[in-house]
């Protein structure tokens, strides 16, 4: 989010790419795109076209996505659908709230997780956010009825 905010502030033409389990940026400089991957300080500045292609291809297939959504699926072998799309800054904020919802769920605080998922949905109505929010709502309703 900080990188996108800085790119926007300084007037760069950029794209935010959402993948099944990751986000990265493509920045236009001198009519060419550079891939910026902020969590990799050594290899996160990708200028070479072939390296960019290889980097982006690994996020474009469902097989590349780990099965982290099994809690929301009926079959343990199901993978999340492959996601590879451009999103805007508001959507990125929604993904941050979604990540916080997952963090609170993992820390056994379903109510706070649900609250973060509701905020995430206001920013970005992505399938995975809708599904996770519905899952949390269902769990909370079950807990309340006991």
Chain segment 124-144, per-residue pLDDT in tens: 999 999 999 999 999 999 999
pLDDT over 70, % of the chain: 86
Quote the pLDDT of residue 77: 46
Edge-to-edge strand list for the sheet holding 84-87: 45-46, 32-36, 23-29, 13-19, 84-87
Quote the pLDDT of residue 63: 54
Quote the pLDDT of residue 71: 45
Domain boundaries defined on the chain: 1-87, 88-146
- The enclosing H or E element of 102 equals helix 89-106
Q: Classify strands 13-19 and 84-87 as parallel, antiparallel or unpaired.
A: antiparallel
Contacts of 103 (CB under 8 A, 6+ apart): 113
């Amino acid at each position: 989010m900080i990188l996108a905010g800085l790119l926007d502030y300084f007037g760069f033409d950029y794209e935010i790419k959402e993948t099944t389990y990751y986000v990265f940026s493509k920045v236009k400089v001198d009519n060419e795109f550079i891939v910026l991957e902020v969590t990799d300080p050594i290899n996160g500045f990708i200028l070479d076209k072939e390296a960019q292609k290889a980097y982006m291809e690994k996020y474009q297939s469902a097989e590349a996505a780990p099965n982290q959504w099994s809690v929301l699926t009926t079959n343990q072998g199901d993978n999340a659908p492959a996601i590879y799309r451009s999103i805007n800054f508001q959507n990125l904020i929604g993904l941050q709230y979604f990540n916080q919802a997952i963090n609170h769920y993992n820390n056994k605080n379903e109510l706070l997780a649900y609250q973060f998922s509701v905020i995430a949905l206001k920013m970005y109505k992505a399938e995975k956010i809708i599904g996770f929010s519905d899952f949390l709502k269902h769990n909370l309703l079950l807990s309340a009825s006991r």
